[in-house]
Every structure is written in structure tokens, then in C-alpha cells.
Amino acid sequence: MRACASVLLAVSILTGCAGTPGRAPATGDWDDHRQHLEALGDWTAVGKVAVRDSEQSESATMQWQQSGATALINLSGPLGSGATRLHSDGSTLTIERGGETRQVDISSAEAVRANTGWDLPLQVLPFWLRGVPFPGSAIEEMQHDADSGRLLTLRQDGWDIHYETYAVFDGFTLPTRLRMQRGDSRATVLVRRWLTGPAP
């Protein structure tokens, strides 16, 4: 159960992809930057995720493919204890690992905690990983760079997200390192490559 829980935590905190760096939009306006990223509906992220709470600390490599509300995540390493495949339609998360399949209602924080042991907002991560707030929740605090328009810090749903580094891929300025924390739950995501557009 803890291994599966760790897998889901890893999933929640990542999102990056393989891509060819390009030129970012010539604007420092936050609204333009946000709209540019929100228009990116299909992407893939490749990198690593590290998760920690009061009881354990683990890490895993990940590949996250997003197409609209549909996500396909492959994890390997300690968190996955081998190969783990996760599929989400935006409301339900299906976990395939070691011949076992499990479904979780990711719209319910209680259901996620009961099935994974981790308290993470899986439903909103596709937005946070791109560096934009989740449109379905109120923004508690937010800070962005005045020159580039990039999001620096965000507090939403009780989570504190810090964006430490960015890089440009195919004209999109996307996060390459971010940290998340709420209480004892912490996660760091490192994205080596972003691929924009439908997965091959």
C-alpha cells in the first residue's frame, strides 16, 4: 500500500517533457504568459520526482503525457518499485502495477488519502506543472516576475508552490524545477525535457 501510495505522490508532483528549445513570447505580462501556457493542451514531461513526509523520503523517474484532461504517467525506480502505469481522465486515476489494477476518485481528497496514503491534489497538477494556477480554485497568494511574467510562487488549496527554474521549449517558457509543500507533505519535481504537442 505504501509503495502504491508513493507512486501516486510521485505522479501528483510532476509534469515535464522532451522538446526542442525555442523562443519565448516577447512579453513580460502575466496575463499573456498565463494564456499562452493554458493554450498548451497536449504535452509530455520527462524528469524526476522526489517526495517526502514525516515517515519517508523517496524518488522516481517519470514520463507524463497529457492530452486535454487525459493523462498517462509512467514511473520507474524506488517509487514505482519497477514499472508503474497510471491513467487519468481528470476525475478517476487508474493504477496498473505488478498485474494489479486499482481506481481512485481524484476529485475527492479523502478518497485519494484512503487509497494512496498521500495528501496531494492530483487533479490540479497538470496546471501547476505548467506554471499556471488551477482555474477551479481561489488563488490565496501569487507572485510573478515583472520582467518575464513567469510565475514565481503560488499558494492554492493550502499548497505552497515555488518555481525555481524555467527553460524555453518550442516557444513555451515552462518550469524545470519546482517545489510543493503542505504541512509534512513535500515534493520536488525536476523536468529535463518538455515536448509540446501530441505524443508521437
Domains in the chain: ranges and CATH: 2-195 (2.50.20.10)
CA atoms within 13 A on the CB side of 45: 34
Sign of CA dihedral 3, 107, 131, 94: positive
Whether the Cβ atoms of residue 198 and residue 67 lie closer than 8 Å to each other: yes
What's the pTM? 0.82
User: Cell numbers of 67, please?
Assistant: 492530452
Local confidence pLDDT in tens for the 200 residues of the chain: 444 444 444 444 443 333 444 444 444 689 999 999 999 999 999 999 888 888 777 788 989 999 999 999 888 876 545 677 888 998 898 888 778 888 988 877 677 666 655 566 778 889 999 999 999 899 999 999 988 999 999 999 999 999 999 999 999 999 999 999 999 889 999 999 999 999 87
